[in-house]
Amino acid sequence: MAEDFSVVVLASDLGVDARPFLTRTDEVDEQENWHDCPQYLGDEDFADLDLLHFFTLQGSDKSGNRIFRVVGKFFPARVVSAERLKKYIFQKISNECPEGPFCLVYMHSTVQKDENSPGITILRWIYEDLPSEIKERLQVVYFVHPGLRSRLVIATLGRLLLTGGLYWKIKYVSRLQYLWEEIKKGEVEVPDFVNNHDNVLEHRPLTDYGIEPDPFHLTEVQSSSFSLNHYENRWVS
């Protein structure tokens, strides 16, 4: 018995993408629901990514959300493909925090765009491919030490690229002292270089915006009057 078939005629000048009509329904469902099949992840080993500690489960914030700490400086964007990164994130969330609300604490301190950032389009693609229940469980993204460029990109393109309410979940945290208003100290481990960067911001708060008010660190140099008086005393003696 012959299989049923249908014919769809599309005018070539309407600018309509015909691919959805030419793809079998079962194939589309399989592509869209890859995250519902544990076999998609296979037996891929992510031990090398675990050693980098750029995406780790920590404690909880004051609202009871489990914390996934993301350290941008630890991520080698040049050598990890977007596809592998997506699989790794999905596996970590599914295995280590399979239920309940969670949040992200993203530490952007001293991140280099070419070395550590996968790009906003790849992050958007990864987020959109996550199951809807994981998106709903993500409550807030604490963006620690955001730079001027990050703020501008998210402010201008965020509403277009960050779908599913992600744009409204981002909370900028310019200093660690503001992070402790949302998370108790000890609930999330802060790398030394993040603490050091925060100390720099204590004296030069515009550093993250590419503005250095004291580029030659003149405030650290002893005043000339002190030096002259010191030598005058030596001459007198």
Stretch among 60-69, 91-100, 121-130 having the lowest mean pLDDT: 121-130
120 — pLDDT class (breaks 50, 70, 90): confident
- Residue 133 parent element (H or E): helix 132-137
In the structure encoding, which two tokens stand for residue 91, read together? 């596996």
Q: How many domains does the chain have?
A: 1
What was the pLDDT predicted at 41? 53
- Residue 58 is classified by DSSP as E
The span from the CA of 196 to the CA of 206, in Å, is 15
- Residue 38 is classified by DSSP as G
Stretch among 36-40, 131-135, 162-166 having the lowest mean pLDDT: 36-40
The answer to whether 55 touches 188, Cβ cutoff 8 Å, is: no
Average confidence (pLDDT) over 66-95: 95
152 — pLDDT class (breaks 50, 70, 90): confident
More confident residue, 7 or 66: 66
Do you know the residue count of the chain?
237
Q: For residue 151, what are the domain limits?
A: 42-213
Phi-psi region of 121 (alpha: psi -120 to 50; beta: other; left: phi over 0): alpha
Is 63 contained in some domain? yes
155 — pLDDT class (breaks 50, 70, 90): confident
Task: Kindly report the average pLDDT of the chain as a whole number.
Answer: 77
Stretch among 27-31, 56-60, 108-112, 213-217 having the lowest mean pLDDT: 27-31
Q: Specify the CATH number for the domain of residue 180.
A: 3.40.525.10
More confident residue, 210 or 196: 196
Is 149 contained in some domain? yes
Is 119 contained in some domain? yes
The answer to whether 66 touches 97, Cβ cutoff 8 Å, is: yes
The span from the CA of 233 to the CA of 198, in Å, is 41
Is 224 contained in some domain? no
